[in-house]
Amino acid sequence: MKKYLLIGVSAFVLGAGSMAYVSQHAIAAATPPKANTYRMLGLFGDVLDIVERQYVTPVDDTKLIHAALDGMLTSLDPHSNYLDPEGFDDMRDQTRGEYGGLGLEVTTEDGVVKIISPIDDTPAAKAGLKPGDYITAVNGDSVLGLSVTDAVKQMRGKPGETVTLTIAREKSDPFDVKLQREIIKQKSATAKLDGDYGILRVSGFNEKTTDEAKAAFEEIKAKNPHMKGLILDLRRNPGGLLDQAVGISDLFLEGGEIVSQRGRDPRDVERYNARPGDITNGLPMVVLIDSGTASAAEIVAGALQDRKRASIVGLTSFGKGSVQTVIPLRGGMDGALKLTTARYYTPSGRSIQKTGIEPDLEVAASKDEAQEIANRAFGFSEASFKNALNADEGKVRKGAHTPAEAPPEGFDVKKDFQMSRAEDVLRYGSVAATPKLSAPTARLASILSKSKVAEVKAPTPKQP
């Protein structure tokens, strides 16, 4: 049975999640009937009947039941949810790499729509929307309290039409942004040369990503056959199809394990291995990551880090280490369930759920970002979801701290400091050999009490 596994970071986003399409028969289990379960189902029917007869205005039974299904699933973890037939179709369009919209990956926090990442070269990215921005209204209509699926529906429509989003951003007054809908033909992999180094940018993982990445690399290799190194840029990559994450990793590995996934049953382990053949012929590599690098992108970074194939530069990744299975209902006629069914593990056996991939050289993109990391334990990450799956026993995400490096005084703000440091690692041959810069002056917990520091080091997961 062909599987399509999708890895991402949101409940239902314009294309993120870790998914496999399976038949309902594959999940049938001989579970004995439970009297309390039937009693509660009867209670649900009673409540639905009362609402139908006594609510102040007429209600739509279908919408009520869809909302109940979604509420049941989202109570499990941030990435399980119900997709109505329209939402299921949208998700499949997204994985094909072409869809109509604004180019946003979004999720919800306590009923508020939050941007995970704008997608490269889309209306959202061109308008300057940022990860962590909140969308409070669409065309003047509030989206507070809506499910992410319903909020996305308001943002979608005919290409060419203008959409006004009301944005709430930290340390800023709310403001409106006008965007024009487009057919998003997401080119998920592009490449360019910067002197003797190649830069391969992968912004997501759809059905075309591995082929696009291979073609993009071959194009720059033809322009400079004597390239001295390659930077794989996975920053702000929210995830996508697992088979494409495996495919990207396989481009640079000569064999061995890339990732494994393990379900509820300890015997339920599936491993994905690389085939012989490295398209770079062993060129030195650096992978760039940040807090927006999630799930499928973390698989690639973790595989190349564990297999000693690349150095990792940037900031600790998002920390989504779970796999969702998409289960069509009546062949998709009634939509689908997206249900968390497994965790994934890097080749060394690491689960990065909540903790993320930590870079070999920690580099903040700006002084402001360094200060944010010093001020806040998690920022926006998997660990910030109050109902996220727990990390491996005893593991916690690194708390508030001063990053090892940030742009020094006099660094041109128009340049990419993290990219510059990645090139330095290639130039010097390793992270260990690369001259280190002075730590930034971001103030940390000297202003905090010891009890607060302890809370940062061993937090109870909660939303920011």
Helical pair 296-306 and 242-252, crossing angle rounded to 10 deg: 30
Q: Active site includes 147?
A: no
168 burial class (0-12, 13-18, 19+ CB within 10 angstroms)? middle
Q: How far apart (Å, rounded) are the C-alpha atoms in residues 335 and 328?
A: 6
Cα distances from 241 to residues 45, 296, 324, in angstroms, run: 38, 7, 11
Q: Which of 133, 150, 250, 306 is catalytic?
A: 306
Active site includes 360? no
Residue-wise DSSP of 379-443: SSSGGGSTTPPPPSTT-----S---SB-PPTT--TTS-HHHHHHHHHHHHSSTTTSPPPPPP---
CA geometry: angle 3, 5, 109, nearest 5 deg: 145
CB 229 within 8 A of CB 222: no
Residue 149 per-residue DSSP state: H
Identify the active-site residue in 291, 295, 351, 381.
295
b/e burial code for range 335-347 (CB count within 10 A of at least 16 → b)? bbbbbbbbbbbbb
CB 359 within 8 A of CB 316: yes
Residue among 191, 197, 48, 202 at smallest CA distance from 120: 202
Spatial contact of 184 and 178, defined as CB atoms under 8 Å apart: no
Distances (CA, A) of 412 to 30, 198, 417: 64, 22, 9
CB contact set of 238 (below 8 Å; sequence gap of 6+): 8, 9, 10, 13, 15, 16, 105, 116, 117, 204, 292, 294, 295, 297, 318
CA 437 distance to own-chain centroid: 30
Beta-carbon count within 10 A of 453 CB: 14
CB 351 within 8 A of CB 323: no
Active site residue 311: no
Annotated catalytic residue, options 320, 338, 354, 367 = 320
In single-letter form, the type of residue at position 309 comes to R
Tokens 């973790």 sit on residue? 302
Residue 315 CA to residue 52 CA, distance in Å, equals 51
Q: Give catalytic residue positions.
A: 295, 306, 320
